[in-house]
């Protein structure tokens, strides 16, 4: 019998798991006993992440290489995962990139648009397709896709990203119907602004304004990768089987804020406070 809040001996595949939200998610899955398959573009980074997780939590973990948008590479990675760790019980479709060049539609190269759909949407489709047969055989599976607040609201200059993240919503809902009677759930999370190393670099380079988005976010700060990982790990637990087809915002209230001009009072929580209070980032 599966324990409702544990993932012992369950193989959890995290795409784009070498860093950022994916790595934090892999960490949270390992914290509740899951064996971890890190899939990423660079094998050494994936293996390094897997080694750190294995050393910290004593679970089986290994790194695998695949570009999630490449059909043959995804099939090969899943074969290698099953061979090394066992059949997947949890799949987190996390691999993704931020919009490399902000541009209005009238100026956007078609290749930039295509790339967004290929990595985020086709990648989630391909990995889900590769994982579902084993989940059906086991009668258990948890698929968690990563959408974004940009799958729920609009912002200019990011049409490819927004279209891909909105399409993830559609993929998740229809997939949830297909697998619901097989012991499998499919859900998505929609993060707001999350302070990953990648975005820290963009902040340091002046490409993003921390205060602008912290003020726009009702809780008055950005989120931490570990906060997203905790939610995904909850959705992945055996006991979360009645959550299916849900799109869960995790954005400090960003998408429900009616009028961004309304004064919500001074911002109090700093990122350092949050890290210290909850032991995140350690």
Ligand X SMILES: NC(=O)c1ccc[n+]([C@@H]2O[C@H](COP(=O)([O-])OP(=O)(O)OC[C@H]3O[C@@H](n4cnc5c(N)ncnc54)[C@H](O)[C@@H]3O)[C@@H](O)[C@H]2O)c1
20 is a site residue for ligand X (CB under 6 A): yes
- Mark the segment that binds ligand X (CB under 6 A) among 5-13, 91-99, 103-111, 274-282: 91-99
Nearest of 202, 265, 251, 256 to residue 223 by alpha carbon: 251
User: How would you write the chain as a 3-class SS string?
Assistant: CCCCCCCCCCEEEEECCCCHHHHHHHHHHHHCCCEEEEEECCHHHHHHHHHHHHHHHCCCEEEEECCCCCHHHHHHHHHHHHHHCCCEEEEEECCCCCCCCCCCHHHCCHHHHHHHHHHHHHHHHHHHHHHHHHHHHHCCEEEEEECCHHHCCCCCCCHHHHHHHHHHHHHHHHHHHHHHHHCEEEEEEEECCECCHHHHHHHHCCCCCHHHHHHHCCCCCCECHHHHHHHHHHHHCHHHCCCCCCEEEECCCHHHCCCCCCCCCCCCCCHHHHHHHHCCCC
Q: Least distance in Å: CB of 171 to ligand X?
A: 13
Q: Least distance in Å: CB of 22 to ligand X?
A: 5
Residues 140-169 that bind ligand X (CB under 6 A): 146, 148
* Binds ligand X by CB under 6 A, chosen from 36, 90, 119, 132: 119
Taking every pair of Cα atoms in the chain, the longest distance, rounded to a whole number of angstroms, is: 56
* Binds ligand X by CB under 6 A, chosen from 27, 94, 187, 237: 94
Q: Least distance in Å: CB of 217 to ligand X?
A: 11
Q: Least distance in Å: CB of 139 to ligand X?
A: 29
Burial 61-81 (b: 16+ CB within 10 A, else e): bbbbbbbbbeeebbeebbebb
- Please identify, using beta-carbon distances, which residue of 21 and 50 lies nearer to ligand X: 21
How many other CB atoms are found less than 10 A from the CB of residue 177? Answer: 11
* Binds ligand X by CB under 6 A, chosen from 7, 10, 68, 152: 68
81 is a site residue for ligand X (CB under 6 A): no
Interface map 97-116 toward ligand X (x if CB under 6 A): x-------------------
* Binds ligand X by CB under 6 A, chosen from 95, 131, 214, 232: 95
- Mark the segment that binds ligand X (CB under 6 A) among 12-20, 28-36, 53-61, 239-247: 12-20
Q: Least distance in Å: CB of 57 to ligand X?
A: 20
- Mark the segment that binds ligand X (CB under 6 A) among 66-74, 207-215, 237-245, 252-260: 66-74
Q: Least distance in Å: CB of 280 to ligand X?
A: 15
- Residue 161 annotated among the catalytic residues of the structure: yes
16 is a site residue for ligand X (CB under 6 A): yes
Residues that bind ligand X (CB under 6 A): 15-16, 18-22, 40-41, 67-69, 94-97, 119, 146, 148, 191, 193-194, 196, 198-199
Active site amino acids: 161
């Amino acid at each position: 019998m599966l324990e409702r809040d544990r993932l012992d001996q369950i193989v959890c595949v995290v795409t784009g798991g070498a860093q950022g939200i994916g790595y934090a998610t892999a960490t949270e899955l390992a914290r509740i006993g899951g064996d971890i398959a890190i899939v990423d573009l660079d094998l050494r980074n994936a293996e390094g992440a897997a080694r750190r997780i294995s050393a910290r939590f004593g679970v089986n973990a290994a790194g695998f290489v695949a570009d999630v948008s490449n059909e043959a590479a995804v099939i090969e990675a899943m074969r290698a995962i099953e061979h090394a760790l066992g059949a997947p019980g949890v799949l987190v479709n996390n691999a993704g990139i931020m919009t490399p060049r902000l541009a209005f539609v009238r100026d956007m190269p078609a290749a930039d648009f295509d790339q967004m759909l290929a990595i985020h949407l086709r990648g989630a489709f391909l990995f889900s397709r590769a994982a579902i047969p084993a989940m059906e055989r086991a009668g258990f599976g948890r698929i968690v896709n990563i959408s974004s607040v940009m799958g729920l609201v609009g912002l200019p200059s990011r049409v490819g990203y927004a279209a891909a993240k909105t399409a993830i919503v559609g993929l998740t809902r229809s997939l949830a119907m297909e697998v619901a009677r097989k012991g499998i759930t499919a859900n998505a999370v929609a993060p707001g602004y999350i302070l990953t190393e990648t975005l820290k670099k963009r902040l340091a380079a002046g490409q993003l304004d921390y205060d602008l988005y912290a003020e726009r976010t009702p809780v008055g700060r950005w989120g931490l990768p570990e906060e997203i990982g905790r939610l995904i790990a909850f959705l992945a637990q055996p006991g979360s089987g009645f959550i299916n087809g849900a799109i869960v915002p995790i954005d400090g209230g960003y998408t429900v804020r009616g009028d961004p001009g309304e004064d919500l009072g001074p911002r109090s929580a700093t990122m350092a406070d949050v890290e210290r209070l909850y032991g995140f980032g350690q």
